[in-house]
């Protein structure tokens, strides 16, 4: 019987990745499609992707598939051929990473989920297929510069604080559900305006646009392919990007530079920085922005408390964890780990 889960220690997997002598490409894709047997399809994907030495995170549900992956370049043709010969995956729009060091993932995870996007919404209360108009990168680029449009960032605060469209409204929230409710309330008196939605790769805008139309917004539009595809197309067209800063991504890179502007600020000293990290204290593991100077000062931790805790022997740390409260457990980020961010991933 084929192995259906990875049982190898993460340190070994990271070492194997570091020793690879070939290049990889980071891609992402999603599709809403009703699957007759999502569990069986999940197993099929794991077996095939393992054969091709693919890495990444794939969520499979009865409603569809959501994937971010790292593919060996020498297996890319076979991977794409597999997509084309698989009914659920045929003609799949693929988004390719803007900045790619080939180290975005070290492990293959294929999970069965109730939803491919953890949105916290009741899908039975509205028509999730009645989505907004899909705009090309150029169309979105031109419309985003007009004063009579509403440009809305459908990502979470920890994403938009390192990069966003110049004129965008960026909700100060940490979950997609809170965000969509906030947007609906804030713009309830502007339902006749042209609305432009964007997110990382497009999946959140599928749900958000349908929800806004359900709530009576008349002209709802979304950026096809998200920020990832926008950056690629604008570069090809040699246009000045309306998106400034980095694009937060849900893999080990944590971000890819869209232009040279640094939008974010270090959470510890306030200096310009757009470098997201997880606190080096595993008992905290807070996701936050840290500049190089503070990384040296705090030894890659979010506080003096975590820095000091990390110097304790492991035996003492294990005992102390039972009673200690760290920044990541009570901070507004709620100690979100990279692989556990509130919206799932795109």
User: What are the start-end ranges of the H helices in the chain?
Assistant: 10-18, 38-51, 76-84, 137-143, 157-160, 176-186, 203-214, 226-236, 292-297, 304-309, 314-320, 327-330
Given its phi and psi angles, is residue 260 left (phi above 0), alpha (psi -120 to 50 degrees) or beta?
alpha
Query: If DSSP codes are grouped into helix, strand and coil, which group holds residue 166?
Result: coil
Of 199, 266, 279, 343, the catalytic one is: 199
CB contact set of 238 (below 8 Å; sequence gap of 6+): none
CB contact set of 185 (below 8 Å; sequence gap of 6+): none
199 catalytic, yes or no?
Answer: yes
How many Å apart are CA 272 and CA 206, to the nearest integer? Answer: 33
Residue 283: name the closest of 253, 246, 258, 308 by CA.
308
DSSP 189: T
How many Å apart are CA 103 and CA 121, to the nearest integer? Answer: 34
- Scan for tokens 């990069």, then name that residue: 163
Q: Kind and range of the H or E element at 67?
A: strand 64-72
**Structural tokens at position 164:** 């966003």
How many Å apart are CA 36 and CA 41, to the nearest integer? Answer: 9
CA-based R_g, the chain, Å: 21
Q: Which backbone phi and psi does 309 adopt, to 5 degrees?
A: -60, -40
How many Å apart are CA 46 and CA 82, to the nearest integer? Answer: 13
Dihedral angle, C-alpha 322, 327, 329, 333, nearest 10 °: -160
Query: If DSSP codes are grouped into helix, strand and coil, which group holds residue 203?
Result: helix
Catalytic residue set: 199
């Amino acid at each position: 019987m084929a192995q259906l889960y990875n049982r190898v220690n993460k340190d070994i997997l990271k070492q194997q990745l570091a020793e690879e002598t070939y290049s990889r490409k980071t891609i992402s894709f999603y599709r809403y499609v009703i699957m007759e047997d999502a569990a069986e399809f999940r197993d099929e994907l794991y077996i095939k992707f393992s054969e091709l030495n693919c890495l990444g995170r794939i969520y499979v549900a009865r409603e569809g598939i959501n994937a971010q992956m790292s593919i060996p370049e020498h297996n890319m043709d076979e991977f794409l051929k597999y997509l084309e010969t698989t009914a659920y995956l045929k003609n799949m729009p693929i988004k390719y990473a803007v900045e790619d060091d080939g180290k975005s993932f070290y492990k293959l995870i294929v999970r069965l989920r109730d939803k491919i996007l953890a949105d916290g919404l009741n899908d039975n209360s509205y028509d999730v297929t009645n989505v907004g108009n899909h705009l090309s990168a150029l169309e979105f680029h031109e419309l985003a510069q007009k004063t009579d449009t509403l440009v809305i960032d459908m990502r979470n605060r920890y994403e938009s604080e390192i990069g966003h469209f110049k004129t965008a409204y960026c909700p100060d929230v940490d979950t997609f559900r809170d965000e969509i409710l906030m947007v609906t309330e804030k713009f309830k008196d502007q339902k006749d305006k042209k609305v432009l939605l964007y997110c990382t790769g497009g999946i959140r805008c599928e749900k958000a646009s349908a929800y806004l139309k359900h709530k009576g917004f008349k002209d709802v539009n979304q950026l096809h392919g998200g920020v990832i595809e926008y950056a690629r197309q604008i570069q090809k067209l040699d246009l000045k990007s309306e998106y400034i800063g980095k694009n937060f991504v849900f893999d080990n890179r944590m971000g890819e530079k869209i232009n040279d502007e640094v939008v974010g600020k270090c959470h510890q000293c306030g200096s310009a920085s757009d470098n997201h990290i997880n606190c080096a204290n595993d008992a905290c593991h807070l996701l936050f922005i840290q500049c190089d100077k503070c990384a040296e000062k705090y030894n890659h931790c979010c506080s003096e408390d975590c820095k000091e805790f990390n110097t304790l022997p492991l035996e003492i740390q294990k005992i102390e964890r039972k009673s200690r409260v760290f920044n990541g457990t009570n901070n507004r980020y709620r100690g979100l780990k990279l692989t556990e961010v509130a919206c799932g991933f795109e």
